């Protein structure tokens, strides 16, 4: 459905060039959920935004439904925007406080030229789809709780019947008990409507739960990509290993007995990328040759891709 | 001297806003023992932070303690000079290390400020250097002259910890200390806190919404909801034999590490509006087992064992 090849997005700042996305490639299959995980500054959000062309890509290719959309104009992009929608992290900042819930959901219908006489029926239908009632369409964002606001954001994304939804940290601003509500809703909607998701998040256990496959990003590159169970039970890249061993487990005995691989330092900023494998300064298994390594994702069996050549 | 460092008794605290009285804490009783890590878990609006602000006397001008007692080392805190206590006997770390540090002062100045304030006996500068080294901000001689913006998020949280511990407090309150950090850095900071707690023997109150962080770090756990304590026990009590429907619901709503693909069981509904809190149990509107009595009367606390208790009418009914 979507294929991203060697995508690069750089930001030019007064301090130098930020290599936010530095050669990302992946395919997204129809009906699947691809999880994109990594720590802040790894480029996962920029990747999502570049795909929907909120940012103009610097290099690489974005192919959606066999059509190259990498360098088309904003006008040419419009029909694709109808097919690719986005859900944002912050349900407070992503809804216009001066518009009613109904008008927020209506806006994409106006933009994409859906006949006016269908709007109200659609809004009622969408509100019910996300477990709100149609009377609530007349209310303003401040009258809703965080979880309800995220439902409005989901209804807005669904308003033009998209095929692909880019979910950028859709649950990280919500309370634990509400997160499960939203995750279940996203799963139900996927089954009902045949949606495909790119699910960007840093909560690794939730990503495992919702994703078919998971890609791990570090400093603008995907370092490992595999089926979600395979990735979590059999991680290969040293960064993924450390990431997995750092997930807090809500079980005292398991938490006490597990071995945690701690990393030195923190993710460096993307201004001065380390030479070779960009993870080598923090890697517990780094070798001298890692400084000049050409890291590309290689299939190590059954579609499990890993960029580190030194895995057992 | 008792074995408790802190005792909070039937604390009621409200914020007075233009919209009305927000009853943030509605009758909370608990102890913190010497040398333990007490985890407090709860969602936004559960009253976990408001309780701690009351302990620190930092409830602000809109917040007021309406009734209840807070005892520190068996002494009533309302009679104490809080300026002598804060930073010296009890310290606090906040969620966001970015906004908790003053951007126009060097971190050395901010570290030493607390020592000067509490008339530290000994060389202030060398104590600040020592603490920076202990929390792993090195080379300390160079870093001590730098400003907050020159540090990463994890480094800033290390500095906050150094600052909180510099006067060797007896109690450290950490309010969501790792929520703003990435998982690998979160693990580093939690390890550091654990190590410092063990070597100093201080007590820690660890506030978080992350059940995983609680499971890995707390000796005892307090579960809060809607300004009240729902359940309290050792971490084994809470995770392996939870009694309150809310605790059970909370544990079910996160993915099970053994069955990660299993459908989640969320808690339906929305958190209570503390402007108009329910008369009875705050959880009544979302509780799958709610009864008539839960609507109108606050549940009694039921003791299950020496360490484990919970507040729920269901338990009263089952005991009867």
Q: Which of B236, B249, B251 sits opposite A250 (nearest CB)?
A: B251
| CA–CA separation, B84 and B192 (whole Å) | 27
Can you list the domains of chain B with their CATH numbers?
4-89+169-319 (3.40.50.300)
Interface mutation vs chain A, best among B43, B183, B274, most A CBs within 10 Å: B183
Q: Which residues contact A102 (CB under 8 A, 6 or more apart)?
A: A123, A127, A137, A138
Q: Which two tokens stand for residue B254?
A: 């996160």
Secondary structure E strands in B100-226: 171-175, 203-208, 220-225
- pLDDT value at B4 more than 80: yes
Q: List the domain boundaries for chain A.
A: 2-235
Instruction: Classify burial at A173, counting beta carbons within 10 Å of its beta carbon; exposed 0-12, middle 13-18, buried 19 or more.
Output: buried
In the prediction, which pLDDT does B132 show? 93
CA pair distance B33, B171, nearest whole angstrom: 10
pLDDT confidence of residue B182:
84
Please report which helix (H) or strand (E) contains residue A238, including its range. Answer: helix A238-246
Asked whether residue B230 carries a pLDDT value surpassing 90, the answer given is yes
User: Are the CB atoms for B141 and B129 separated by under 8 Å?
Assistant: yes
> How far is A80 from A156, CA to CA, in rounded Å?
16
Tens of pLDDT, residue by residue over B72-121, are: 999 999 898 888 899 899 999 988 777 889 999 999 999 999 999 898 88
What pLDDT was estimated at residue A301?
A: 87
* Banded model confidence at residue B2, pLDDT cuts 50, 70, 90: low
Measured CA angle at A145 (ends A144, A149), to 5 deg: 70
3-state SS assignment for residue A306: strand
Burial class (CB in 10 A: 0-12, 13-18, 19+), B251: buried
B273: closest chain A residue by CA = A145
**What's residue B71's pLDDT?**
95
pLDDT of A292 above 60: yes
Q: What is the pLDDT of residue A182?
A: 93
Secondary structure letter of residue B296 according to DSSP: H
Say which residue the tokens 């929520």 belong to.
B179
Q: How high is the pLDDT of residue A269?
A: 75
B154 contacts A180? CB cut-off 8 A: no
Query: Quick check: A165 and A197 in contact, CB under 8 A?
Result: yes
Identity of the residue in A183, A228, A251 whose CB atom sits nearest the CB atom of B215 = A251
The mean pLDDT value for A261-290 works out to: 85
| Structure confidence by residue, pLDDT tens digits, B189-219 | 899 899 999 999 999 999 999 999 999 999 9
Task: Please give, rounded to a whole number of angstroms, the shortest distance from the CA of A172 to a CA of chain B.
Answer: 11
Per-residue confidence (pLDDT) for residue A312, from 0 to 100: 66
- At B265-284, the pLDDT tens digits run 999 988 888 888 888 999 99
Query: B260: nearest CA in chain A?
Result: A209
What CATH number has the domain spanning A2-235? 3.40.50.300
Whether the pLDDT of residue B294 is over 90: the answer is yes
ipTM: 0.84
Is 70 exceeded by the pLDDT of residue B320? no
In chain A, which residues touch B (CB < 8 A)?
39-40, 145-148, 175-181, 183-184, 187, 202, 204-206, 208-209, 228-229, 232, 242-243, 245-252, 254-256, 260, 262-263, 266-267
Enumerate the residues of chain B whose CB falls inside 8 A of the CB of residue A250. Answer: 211-212, 214-215, 239, 251, 254, 257
- Name the pLDDT band for A164 (thresholds 50, 70, 90): very high
pLDDT value of position B213: 94
Confidence of residue B1 (pLDDT cuts 50, 70, 90): low
pTM: 0.89
Q: In chain B, what is the straight-line distance between the N-terminal and C-terminal CA atoms, in Å?
A: 37
B41: confidence class by pLDDT, cuts 50, 70, 90: very high
Q: pLDDT tens digits, residue range A6-16? A: 999 999 988 88
Per the listing, tokens 């008008």 go with A103
């Amino acid at each position: 459905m979507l294929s991203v090849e060697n995508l690069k997005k750089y930001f030019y700042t007064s301090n130098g060039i930020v290599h936010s996305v530095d050669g990302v490639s992946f395919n997204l299959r129809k009906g699947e959920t691809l999880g994109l995980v990594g720590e802040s500054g790894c480029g996962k959000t920029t990747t999502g935004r570049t795909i929907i062309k909120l940012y103009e890509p610097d290099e690489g290719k974005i192919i959606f439904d066999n059509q190259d959309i990498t360098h088309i104009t904003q006008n040419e992009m419009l029909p694709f925007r109808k097919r690719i929608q986005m859900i944002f992290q912050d349900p407070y900042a992503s809804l216009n406080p001066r518009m009613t819930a109904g008008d927020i959901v209506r806006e994409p219908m106006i933009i994409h030229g859906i006949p006016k006489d269908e709007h109200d029926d659609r809004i009622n239908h969408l509100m019910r789809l996300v477990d709100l009632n149609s009377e609530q369409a007349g209310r303003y964002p401040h009258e809703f709780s965080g979880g309800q606001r995220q439902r409005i954001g989901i209804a807005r994304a669904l308003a033009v019947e998209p095929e692909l939804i880019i979910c950028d940290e859709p649950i990280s601003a919500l309370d634990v008990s509400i997160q499960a509500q939203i995750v279940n809703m996203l799963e139900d909607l996927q089954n009902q409507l045949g949606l495909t998701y790119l699910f960007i998040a840093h909560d690794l256990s939730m990503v495992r739960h919702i994703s078919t496959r998971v890609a791990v990003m570090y400093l603008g590159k995907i370092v490992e990509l595999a089926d979600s169970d395979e990735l979590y039970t059999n991680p290969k890249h040293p960064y993924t290993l450390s990431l997995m061993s750092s997930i807090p487990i809500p079980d005292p005995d398991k938490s006490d007995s597990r071995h945690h691989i701690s990393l030195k330092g923190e993710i460096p900023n993307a201004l001065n990328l380390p030479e070779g494998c960009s993870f080598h300064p923090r890697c517990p298994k780094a070798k001298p040759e890692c400084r000049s390594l050409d890291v590309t994702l290689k299939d190590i069996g059954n579609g499990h891709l890993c960029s580190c050549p030194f895995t057992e | 001297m008792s074995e408790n460092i802190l005792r909070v008794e039937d604390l009621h605290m409200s914020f007075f806003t233009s919209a009305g009285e927000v009853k943030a804490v509605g009758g909370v009783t608990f102890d913190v023992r010497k040398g333990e890590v007490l985890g407090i878990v709860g969602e936004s609006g559960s009253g976990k932070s408001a309780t701690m602000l009351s302990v620190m006397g930092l409830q602000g001008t809109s917040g007021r303690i309406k009734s209840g007692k807070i005892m520190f080392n068996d002494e009533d805190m309302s009679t104490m000079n809080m300026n002598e206590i804060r930073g010296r006997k009890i310290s606090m770390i906040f969620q966001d290390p970015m906004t908790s540090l003053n951007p126009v002062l060097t971190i050395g100045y901010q570290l030493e400020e607390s020592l000067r304030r509490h008339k530290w006996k000994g060389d202030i500068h060398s104590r600040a250097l020592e603490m920076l080294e202990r929390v792993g901000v090195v080379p300390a001689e160079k870093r001590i002259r730098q400003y907050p913006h020159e540090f990463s998020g994890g480094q800033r949280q290390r500095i906050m910890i150094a600052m909180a511990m510099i006067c060797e407090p007896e109690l450290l309150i950490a309010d969501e200390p790792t929520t703003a950090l990435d998982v690998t850095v979160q693990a580093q900071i939690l390890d550091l806190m654990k190590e410092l707690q063990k070597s100093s023997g201080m007590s820690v109150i660890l506030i978080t919404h992350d059940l995983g962080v609680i499971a890995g770090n707390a000796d005892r756990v307090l579960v809060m909801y809607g300004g009240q304590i729902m359940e309290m026990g050792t971490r084994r009590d809470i995770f392996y034999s939870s009694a309150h429907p809310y605790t059970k619901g909370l544990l079910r709503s996160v993915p099970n590490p053994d069955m990660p693909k299993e459908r989640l069981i969320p808690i339906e509904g929305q958190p209570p509006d503390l402007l108009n809190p329910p008369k009875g149990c705050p959880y009544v509107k979302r509780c799958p087992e709610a009864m008539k009595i839960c609507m109108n009367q606050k549940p009694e606390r039921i003791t299950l064992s020496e360490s484990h208790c919970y507040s729920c009418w269901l338990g009263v009914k089952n005991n009867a």
